[in-house]
A and B are shown apart, each in its own frame.
Chain A
Amino acid sequence: AQSVTQLDSHVSVSEGTPVLLRCNYSSSYSPSLFWYVQHPNKGLQLLLKYTSAATLVKGINGFEAEFKKSETSFHLTKPSAHMSDAAEYFCVVSDSYTNAGKSTFGDGTTLTVKP
């Protein structure tokens, strides 16, 4: 079975300060991990993905995430928050072996960016 836990339901930062959104996962095999962003009343946009290549993954809009197998974590970071980063963020785990590639979503983290 696979699961993902987003450790913070809400994160609030000031514009220009670093962002950290935490995600822990559980998977029986080598998982693929993703971060998606969802703006209000919009669909999902892929920020970045880890698929067993480099453990430090760079994504769009300055986001990056580091896969740490020993900690079963895949935290999302950004050095400097922008107002447009305010949105809902989902950490997703997927495993081709045990779940036919189906995706399991975390509960989401709402990021608020204060001016």
Chain B
Amino acid sequence: GAVVSQHPSWVICKSGTSVKIECRSLDFQATTMFWYRQFPKQSLMLMATSNEGSKATYEQGVEKDKFLINHASLTLSTLTVTSAHPEDSSFYICSARDDSRGWETQYFGPGTRLLVL
């Protein structure tokens, strides 16, 4: 089956630093990827839609200057948390929509756990 990877799986950083998280579709092309955030014991909240070759679309309340998204190719999207603070600590999950299948077919990555000290 289709595979989406995320790197790193775990990251611990100091407050004020920036962290980049990669989301890759390993065996399919993905024009569209999604970034979610999940707090402990809560549901996934969509942060933004990442589109290859164009600007990301952010959900209401998500700071675009804080969470920079770059969809550099049909298999890679990156989320950079700039000047991270403890409240940014969370589980970040990406998903990728398979271009060769229906619009509803998306595959989720394993997630990246971010801890900001």
List A residues at the B interface (Cβ < 8 Å): 32, 34, 36, 41-46, 49, 51, 90, 94, 96, 100-108
Contacts and interface: CB of A to CB of B under 8 A. Distances in A.
A102 B49 contact: yes
- The B interface, classified by DSSP as helix, strand, loop or mixed, is strand
Interface of B: 32, 34, 42-46, 49, 93, 95, 97, 102-104, 106-111, 113
B49 A105 contact: no
Contact of A43 (B43, B102, B104, B110): B110
A106 B84 CA distance: 28
Contact of B103 (A90, A96, A105): A96
A79 to B, nearest CB: 25
A92 to B, nearest CB: 9
B102 A51 contact: yes
Contact of B44 (A32, A51, A90, A96): A90
Given A43-B111, A103-B106, 8 more contacts: A34-B104, A42-B110, A43-B93, A46-B108, A49-B104, A90-B43, A108-B42, A108-B43
